[in-house]
Structure 1
Amino acid sequence: MKWTIPERIIQRGRKYADEGRVTAITQDLTQEVWHAEVIGSAIYQVELDGTPREKDICTCLYWQENGYCKHTVAVELALRDKGLNRVLKQNKDLKTTYKAPSLSKIVTDSFAKLQDKETKQALEEATPLKVDFLVESLEISNYHPEKAVFGLSFKVGYQDGRTYAVKNASEFLQAFAKQEKFRHSDKYLFSLAAINFTETDYQLLKAALEIYQNNQMVASSGVQLKGSLKQRFLLLPIKELKPFLMNLIRQDKLQVTIGEKTTRKLFFASGKLPIVFEVEPQHTGFNLKISNGIEHYWETYQWVSRGVTIYELTTAQQEIYQTLTQLLKRVETPIIYYEAEEVADLFSYVLPALEQIGLLKVDESLQTEMIRVPVKTGLYLSADKGKLNMRVDFKYGEEVFSTDDAYSTQTEKTSLVIRDQVQESRIEKLLSRYHYTKRAVGYSKPLPQKAELYQLFSTEIPYLRKFAELEVSGELSSLYLDAVQFQPQIEVYEEGSWLDIRFDVSNIDESDIDAILLSLLNQESFYQLSNGQILSLDSDAFQQTSEALSKLRGQLLYQDGKFLIPKYRGLQVEEALEDVTNTTFSDDFKKMVEKLTKPEELDYPIPVNLEAELRHYQKVGFRWLKMLSEYQFGGILADDMGLGKTVQGITYLLSEKEKNIERPSLIVAPASLIYNWQIECQKFAPSLTTCVVTGSKTERERLLQEEGQCDLLITSYASIRQDIDLYQELDIHCLILDEAQMVKNSATKTFQAIKDLKTTHRFAFSGTPIENDLEELWSLFYMLMPGFFPSRAKFKNLETEEIAKMIQPFVLRREKKEVLKDLPDKIESNLYSSLTEEQKTVYLAHLRQMQETISSMSADSFKKNRISVLAGLTRLRQICCDPALFIEDYKGDSGKLEQVKELVIAAKENGRRVLLFSQFTSMLSIIEREFNQLGIDSFYLRGSTKPKDRIEMVEAFNSGEKDVFLISLKAGGTGLNLTGADTVILYDLWWNPAVEEQAAGRAHRMGQKKVVEVWRLIAEGTIEEKMNKLQQEKRELFDKVMNAEEEQQLAKLTEADIREILSMGID
């Protein structure tokens, strides 16, 4: 074999030799050549040089172009397989002639191969593919980019995986045209059968194939126009040819020359061709006579013609016609003789194919003798001694051909039965696919176990039944329990602080129920019972159960044959199981779900000793707390500021006292609010004895030792952190955390101290349970109902909508605009001021310094210096307020200070009363001094103001004393009722909008009679403008979770935020 032949050609030749495609080899000792025939897409004649010169010849087009081909290689390898040398003289005593098979055998084999291809395609299981179509502009000249053309390439892969670039588009499209397999690489072999493509991809590939066929028309037909023909003629492409000819016919412009005939008429037809196939008796056998009326054949266009009629071939017809024409080249007259014993092959393989392209005539005497009836295939599956046995019966009327002779029928007509070799071959290949081995009396394989036994019944048997009638022995059938006959049953009960999910399966031993339940939880498709039987779990009922359990996975506790889940998962349990067949919910469970989802319909009685007239929404809030308490749930009362969360809490505590509970409850609040709670209790529930735990360490210890004399203990977050050892010894009935956002950080000592308290009921009150990010919500629920949310890491991966859905029953939030229809509006305005020249000089100097510092920082360096960066931002904010806040000798003015003086003077003249908030107490001192000089008297609430003094100041202001109340934002942003004011001025912005909302809520709350205006002062062109933008993004986060609105983007003060803030300068 020549060393210049490429390896890929040798490999293809090896494949042909192994497949037995070399059907005849003879030697000519005189001419010193080997003659052979090779079956490919046609039958090719090969002449193999029998001398060392190796001048081989083949009739294929590839050899004509290259001087070698896979067919010559296949013949030489076939000789080697027989122990022969291609050089004739090197073979000792060469006498044997390898005679070619008879013509009838060649014809039968040729059409049998077509049927075998059809069988393989019929058995092909769908393996869905996806195709990417990539169009790219290709430059064909480095010097002339304007001559670029567009090219199309492909990527192919499985539907659920990635796609891979097709390296040879020609081979890919040829394989698609024949619906064959396409080898992308050693790893991937894709079947390009039509069933594997979506309709869209299939049509696009057909269009691409037409383009390819147009491009390849000349080369694929082996024709090349040269000289004057090339200059004179325009080749007509495949897709456009018929429409063009039809257009010529319609315009009476057609003049077509085919061979030596020219015509002005042309007709198109489809279906059977003008070919007649006759089968007649001849001697002891039969003749197959072929009358071929075809005059011309155009392989490229898939057309044949007779006279003025062109017949369009289907792909299947073209394959049959090509095979036929190749065979007819072997004979002088179109008559093929079949011996009597070959007649079954003639009728089974040859005639069914020929009948697709032409008219079939069979001698009447032969028709009466032949038995041609559809085959009925019977498969009989049984188990014996650890093996599966399969008997196969092919039934043709009364004649039965069985793999077990005991079941075959033998009559004088048996030899005349025309057997359906396609179906019989199909069954044989099917059984081979499922690893059955042919035995003397049928097929067998080892009896499968566990998963393989499940696959036998769930996949293998149903698939075989598509092609045959299949019976399974009773003994084997008993190994498989169909899921439809064994229905799961689920019952949900309330049991203490848990929900009890009980599970049963009809007609299944109780000892197997636990394991079946765990199999469903693991989403398995079957379970093998203790007696060896396979229980299918693939029915709708079992799959619904499996999906429901998977939704609850992680919260379920398995114990004593049942699942337990915390009662606060009730709504999740109902949602997961409500559509599951045969699920029963206990009356207690349904009642609990009703209460959780419809708090407005609760009917707990208002305490008789309450000395307050509750609004409707406050009654709902009280009853909601009572309902959560009944089921030992925690919750967050998240009403808007000023809606009376305190009175709702007091009503609940008073109601609990009326149950004669002897243990005290505990209120933890900011220090500024502890006396407010006591005063409100004395006002609305005087029968509720209170004790404010404050003072020195010794005093606090004494008060806690006397806790048995109080219904309600009230303390501050700072005090409880210091006295946690004392509180941990107490048995507390109910814990209420007021302004619960104070303990949003789970890493603080205060959080840890409160978390470990022994208490039956826990509630949080906060108008802003989320101030910065969702982890604050995780912290609150971790304190109220440990385990309610997954771990912090998993919580971060939850969708915001899912979080909102989970917390919905345990968070009650009402806004003023919803429940206080008579509450006057709140009008918010941003008022801008300009920096003075002196102020601007200072601001720009600090800004540039920060910009230079941060621009040189890497991300790691930024993290390490974050505190100093934030301190720099604080400096810039202070400059916006008044540079005198940190520059001792600053002599200039402040634009914002001048603005606020003008605003307050105007407000006072118009009879308005003002709350003025600032984060910086030193700024408030400057404002107080400026107001004194203007004769404006004001209250000033500092962080150091004692709680009792604070209450007195609030009462005096609400009574009409003084017109301005200066308040430190953090000291007085919560817990104050200052409805005597109708104007709120936020002198400087705070990063967290919730703090500002709280501040505005001091005036805009229940009891307010006037429209409240909120003025937010912003220094134009400074970082305050960026801060205002960040605040809006945080407001959207709060609305999304607490009000379950559409998703917005969560924003925290990130490195990117800070860099953007500092990018702003002043023009």
Structure 2
Amino acid sequence: MKVSADQPFEIIYSLFSHEYLGLLFESFVIQLDEKGRLSLAHQNISHVNANEFASGLDEVDYQLIKMMDEMQQDAVTKKLNTKKLKPKEYLRKIYDEKTGNKVSQEMIELKLEGLRSRILEKMKGKRLFEMANDGNPIWREIFIMEEPASVLFHFRRNEENTHYFPTIKYQGERLEWQYRNAYLICNQPAWMVVDNHLYHFAKGEDGKKLMPFLNKKFIVIPKKVEQQYYQKFVTQLVASFDVYAKGFEIKVERSLPSAVLSLSDLPGAPKADLFGNKNAEEEEEKIVFDLKFQYGNYAFRSEESASNNVELEQEGDNYTFHKVIRDVVKEKSYGDYLKDLGLPVKSSRFALEKSKAFGWINTHKESLEEMGIKIQQSSTFKGKRYFIGHAQISVEVNENIDWFDVNALIKFGIYKIPFAKIRKLLLQGKSEFELPNGEIAVIPDSWFVNYSEIFAFLEDNENVEEKTLRLKKHHIALAQELQNSNLVQLTMSRKLEKLRDFSQIEEYDLPETFKGTLRPYQKAGYNWLRFLNEYRFGGCLADDMGLGKTVQTLALLAHEKKVSEGATSLLVMPTSLIYNWELEAKKFTPGLKILTYTGTQRIKDNSRFANYDLVLTSYGIIRLDLELLKNFYFNYIILDESQAIKNPGSIIAKSVGELNCRHKLILTGTPVENGTMDLWSQMNFINSGLLGNQNMFKKQFLQPIEKKNDMDKAAKLHAMIKPFIMRRLKTQVATDLPEKVINVKYSSMTEDQEKAYEEVKSYYREKIVSELSTPGAKNQQFTLLRGLTQLRQIANHPKLTNKEYEGDSGKLDDVIHMLKSTASEGHKVLVFSQFVRHLAIVKAYLDENQIKYAYLDGSTKDRQAQVTSFQGDDSVKIFLISLKAGGVGLNLTKAEYVFLLDPWWNPAVEAQAIDRAHRIGQENKVMIYKFITRNTVEEKIMALQERKMALAGELISTEESFMKSLSKNDIEALLE
């Protein structure tokens, strides 16, 4: 009968018995009569039509309706009924007495029992009825009792048997419930209807323990099964519920627990040494922590969750149940305390590598004793007895003339251990040794973490009489970092201390022969270079492009001419920059005698070098004339665009390493392009040994940083190199530069372009995903890089991958439109792309329309002529530049617009391109447009970069390391 939501109504819940599923609930709305009473007009309500009656429902009603929908036969059978039988037919089949499916029955009952329990918990304040056989949902009301009832289980033992029965009390009064047509709606926990009243129970009794007594006064336990019954059933009952007994004794013990942290061993995987090398001979064992609580003679493990425990004692014919009531609040406080200390043993045992375990004990032993937690060693330690006392290490680092002296004191309890022994163990990755009293001492893991770098860099003192070890002075930052963490006592001169903060370095006068004015930040750079010169430290001047690294270097060289008359310095650079250095030197340091040592006509005689203050040459000449150059001792060797030696295995990196000089300096706008090994190569050139050898550097820094995203290692590496890298960002210092505005221009693919894109994407998605699922596939990165490159090219223009393509490109249309607009307004624009073929397409359009432009790629012979044309000829408004050819060494301050035709993996390289225009000398606002094609991998790469490239300020990635950082989910997202 239809109920009107516009008239008064009420929601009620009705209980009915299903022939297979047992007791179920159903929700109804009942129309109210003129006196506000429930009428016979009713309607089933489900989550589908519940909103029609929203005015009469609260949040709990919506929850109840949803749960009741889930228990109806259609919903219950939906997942199990794979043959799509009608629900009734399916139930008849699985509940057939002879051929029924017991597993399916149990699954259904488990689900229904869970729903019944959750429904009944939310029934408070609602109206519940029994449904009549004719379907009337309000046949008989069941009144829900608010307070819980209590159950007392009785046992009366006599010579022949034991009688067992429960009694129930509600509000202190005994409840008559047996032989009253009572029934259970739910068993776990029990909800029972007695005389139209619904009761639940304080201790969540299982209904199955009450069900046998609905129509029975007691159960008789025969004498012959008494012991077994007491052991298996009565002990559980005594532990969880209130029990009254005659004929046997129940002793209850209440006390505060004593906490015991038990240690045992667990064999582990092969141990790694200080640098991560596996040592197959030594197995790294683990220590297992187990929290136990002692109550008198009884002990319980923390993970044993029962609040009460019962043990049965039998003496002759007498039984005694010993019930220990555990203080779960106090136990929890111990567990929480240990968890806060990094040891989550509250719910299970917890294992730690041995060095970490004893490191933890060493750190927290006093706190544990104050808290009353005892540490107990297990007898399973194969006869070993471990030292559980205080282990201490103190390290002193004192400045000497050209190095630091290092002294260390190690103590385990009362025993002083020679530093050389501990250092040897640390370097080998071994963590334990025997003390004079026979106990085994374990080196705390924190010593490995805190001192591994400084111990690795230590050198033996050549003076046999001195037992101290030495640390090279260029490891100052490492010593300072340990001092900041209170790990060493560091003594050094106030002057050397200033290297920690560039702003504290003293002022040095500029040489009179320097013709120019340095901006404040450039003067600070000059001061820093002079400071490094005094201490014979090598340096890396890594200011942003356009901030004047050249002029700062020339100021230093002018000073060197004054104080080191007759000394010759060597400046190495890409060939394209030599002319620029010649011009700048003539302008700022006209007094420097300069030899340009390049070209096929160069005179190969190194004795000529002594006649000059500065020799300019290229990386290519270094490689060709190495034997000649390495036999001359230079004052300074300076590498410009030093990322040229980023690969330590390259010929050029090895070649410059063989040159001889007093001082070393490198100049670069991007000290790191591909990964952290770039950093090692350049740092090792200026300060040999600063970051250890290649193998050590890989294990200590490269692998933790690039593969594990170890931010602590990244911070430590940054601290070690910081004194020797001067890096200022344009945003920090060049406040006199005009505004730079970056815009993202989104282009849409044309129909033909989108079709080409989807074809390639589908091919690579299938190929890459299948390779990802193949164990050990080594070509995944190559396939991914090739696939992503093709997709990026198609996002520009499909002609980049398919010369036969006849369609158009949405991005090209946008680029052409904006080029015409800017040029027609008289503005000059730089157009960058990393794909030369992309520039060729733009170039073809400009040629066809007779639009003048300058052009530069790797094959361009006269770079300077193209630069001069763009800078000096007002009719040349457009400069097409390939990324590799024009990323460095160009000064294009006439440009007001920069178009980046495709996004690059490396944001630093992108910034370099922008800096061709946005640099000192620029007077106009620079507008940058980044062209991104919508719904392509370009968009997704940009989003990924934001998440992936926040590792460390200087550690910037390109294709290779970016690929390594991609998870399977990232790759699949790129190819969606």
- Asked whether the two chains share a fold, i.e. TM above 0.5, the reply is yes
Question: Structure 1 residues 674-683 or 715-724, which shifts more?
Answer: 715-724
RMSD: 5.3
Q: Which runs of 5+ in 1 are unaligned?
A: 1-139, 152-213, 243-295, 305-313, 330-429, 434-450, 460-481, 507-511, 1044-1048
User: Aligned to 1:835, which of 732, 742, 749?
Assistant: 749
**Equivalent residue, structure 1, for 2:457:** 555
The one-letter amino acid of 2:729's match is E
Q: Give the superposition deviation at 1:720.
A: 2.3
- For the Cα contact (< 8 Å) 1:850–1:1062, is it kept in 2? no
Give the letter aligned to residue 759 of structure 1. Answer: C
1:986 corresponds to which of 892, 900, 904: 900
Q: What is residue 570 of structure 1 aligned with on the other side? A: 476
Instruction: Please give the secondary structure, in 2, of the residue aligned with 1:732.
Output: strand
- Whether 1:724 and 2:626 are equivalent positions in the alignment is yes
Pair 1:610-2:514 in alignment:
yes
The reply on whether 1:820 has 2:722 as its aligned counterpart is no
Cα distance, 1:227 vs structure 2: 7.0
Q: Deviations over 1:548-583 (max 9, x none)?
A: 766621111232311101112223224435787995
Partner of 2:932 in structure 1? Answer: 1018
How far does residue 217 in structure 1 lie from its aligned partner after superposition?
9.2
1:623 aligns with 2:538: no
Q: Match for 1:302: what amino acid?
A: V
Contact 1:958/1:981, CA 8 A, preserved across alignment: no
Partner of 2:553: 649
**Alpha-carbon distance between aligned partners in 1 of 2:867 and 2:522, rounded to the nearest angstrom:** 28
1:723 positional shift: 2.9
Provide the C-alpha distance between the structure 2 equivalents of 1:1054 and 1:972, rounded to a whole number of angstroms.
29
Q: Kindly indicate whether residue 815 of structure 2 is the aligned counterpart of residue 900 of structure 1.
A: yes
Measured in 2, the distance between the counterparts of 1:895 and 1:489 equals: 65
What amino acid maps onto 1:691 in structure 2?
Answer: L
Say if 2:970 is the partner of 1:1063: no
Aligned partner of 2:673 among 771, 785, 807: 771
Check the 8 A contact 1:954/1:977 in 2, yes or no.
no
Residues 395 and 488 in structure 2, CA contact (< 8 A), matched pair in contact too: yes
- Give the number of equivalent residue pairs: 632
How far has the Cα of 1:984 moved from its partner?
0.1
In structure 2, what is the Cα distance between the partners aligned to 1:219 and 1:725? 107
Segment drifting more, 990-999 vs 886-895: 886-895
Counterpart amino acid of residue 908 in structure 1: A
For residues 759-805 of structure 1, give each alpha carbon's deviation from its aligned partner in whole angstroms, at most 9, with x where no partner exists: 33223222222223323223322333332224323322252222222
Asked if residue 786 in structure 1 is aligned to residue 688 in structure 2, the reply is yes
Q: 1:708 to 1:1018 in 2, by over 3 A?
A: same
**Rg comparison, structure with higher value:** 1
Q: How does 1:790-939 map to 2 (within 5 A)?
A: 790-795=696-701, 796-797=703-704, 799-854=713-768, 856-857=770-771, 859=774, 863-864=778-779, 870-871=785-786, 873-885=788-800, 887-939=802-854
Paired residues for 1:66-85 under 5 Å: none
Q: Is the 8 A contact 1:671 1:716 kept in 2?
A: yes
Match of 1:155 in 2: none
Structure 1 CA distance for aligned equivalents of residues 156 and 634 of structure 2 = 93
- Aligned to 1:494, which of 376, 400, 406? 400
Instruction: Tell me what 1:226 maps to.
Output: 163
Q: What is the SS of the residue equivalent to 1:980?
A: coil
Matched, 1:302 2:252: yes
Larger mean CA deviation between 990-999 and 218-227 belongs to: 218-227
For normalisation by structure 1, the TM-score amounts to 0.51
Residue of structure 2 aligned with 1:592, choices 496, 499, 514: 496
1:1029, distance to aligned residue in structure 2 (A): 3.3
What CA distance in whole angstroms lies between the structure 1 residues aligned with 2:798 and 2:804? 10
Q: CA deviation at 1:998?
A: 0.7
1:713 corresponding residue in structure 2: 615
Residues 1038 and 769 of structure 1, relative CA distance in 2, 3 Å threshold? farther
Aligned counterpart in structure 1 of residue 635 of structure 2, from 710, 725, 733: 733
Report if the CA contact (8 A) 1:885-1:923 is conserved: yes
Q: Per-residue CA shift, 1:908-945, capped at 9, x if unaligned? A: 23332101112233433432342244443211123233
| AA in 1 matched with 2:921 | G
Judged with a 3 Å threshold, the aligned counterparts in structure 2 of structure 1 residues 845 and 302 are, in CA distance, closer, same or farther, namely closer
2: CA distance, partners of 1:682 / 1:525? 65
How far did residue 883 of structure 1 move?
3.7
Amino acid at match of 2:832: F
Alignment correspondent of 1:678: 582
Q: What SS does the aligned partner of 2:558 have?
A: helix
State the one-letter code of the partner of 2:906.
N
Counterpart residue number, 1:750: 652
Return the structure number with greater relative CO, CA threshold 8 A, min gap 6.
Answer: 2
CA–CA separation in structure 2 for the residues paired with 1:1022 and 1:525: 56
5 Å-filtered alignment, 1:501-516, equals: 501-502=406-407, 515=418
Which of 719-728 and 992-1001 deviates more?
Answer: 719-728
When residues 297 and 554 of structure 1 are mapped into structure 2, their CA distance, relative to the original with a 3 A threshold, is farther
Alpha-carbon distance in structure 1 between the residues aligned to 2:157 and 2:628 = 96
Query: Over residues 189-248 of structure 1, what are the superposed CA-to-partner deviations in whole Å (9 max), with x where a residue is unaligned?
Result: xxxxxxxxxxxxxxxxxxxxxxxxx9999699999862778799999xxxx999xxxxxx
Flag the structure with higher helix content: 1
Contact (CA 8 Å) 1:901, 1:931: kept in 2 or not? no
Cα 1:654–1:1063 change in 2 (3 A) is same
The Cα of 1:712 is off from its aligned counterpart by 1.9
| Counterpart mapping for 1:397-436 below 5 A | none
Same amino acid, percent of matched pairs? 31
- Residues 142 and 623 from structure 1, CA distance in 2 versus in 1: closer, same or farther, beyond 3 angstroms? same
User: CA, structure 1 residues 1061+303, in 2 after alignment: closer, same or farther (shift >3 Å)?
Assistant: closer
Contact 1:986 1:1015 in 2 (8 A): yes
Change (3 A) 1:717 1:1033: farther
AA aligned to 1:678 is E
Indicate conservation of the 8 Å contact 1:693/1:704, yes or no. no
1:666 maps to 2:575: no
**Cα distance in 2 for residues equivalent to 1:871 and 1:143:** 55
Q: Which residue of 2 aligns with 1:1036?
A: 950
Moved more, 683-692 or 1032-1041: 1032-1041
Contact 1:954 1:978 in 2 (8 A): no
Counterpart amino acid of residue 627 in structure 1: F
Superposition map of 1:266-305 within 5 A: 299-300=249-250, 302=252
1:525·1:536 contact (CA, 8 Å) conserved in 2? no
Distance 1:865 1:1037 in 2: 24
Q: Distance in 2 between matches of 1:849 and 1:695?
A: 49
Summarize the alignment of residues 945-1024 of structure 1 with structure 2, pairs less than 5 Å apart: 945-946=860-861, 949-950=863-864, 953-954=867-868, 957=871, 960=874, 962-1024=876-938
Counterpart code for 2:521: Y
Using the alignment, how far apart are the partners of 1:659 and 1:597 within structure 2?
26
Q: 2:593 is matched by which residue type in structure 1?
A: T
State the 1:494 CA deviation. Answer: 2.3
Structure 2: distance between partners of 1:970 and 1:489: 49
The question of whether the paired residues in 2 share the 8 Å contact of 1:919 and 1:988 is answered with: yes
TM-score (norm 2): 0.55
Contact 1:843 1:876 in 2 (8 A): yes
Question: How far apart, CA to CA, are the structure 1 residues paired with 2:594 and 2:969?
Answer: 47
Partner secondary structure for residue 702 of structure 1: coil
C-alpha change, 1:144 and 1:611, in structure 2 (3 Å) is same
Mean Cα deviation higher: 880-889 or 928-937: 880-889
Secondary structure at the residue paired with 1:1007? Answer: coil
Distance 1:951 1:819 in 2: 32
2:953 partner SS? helix
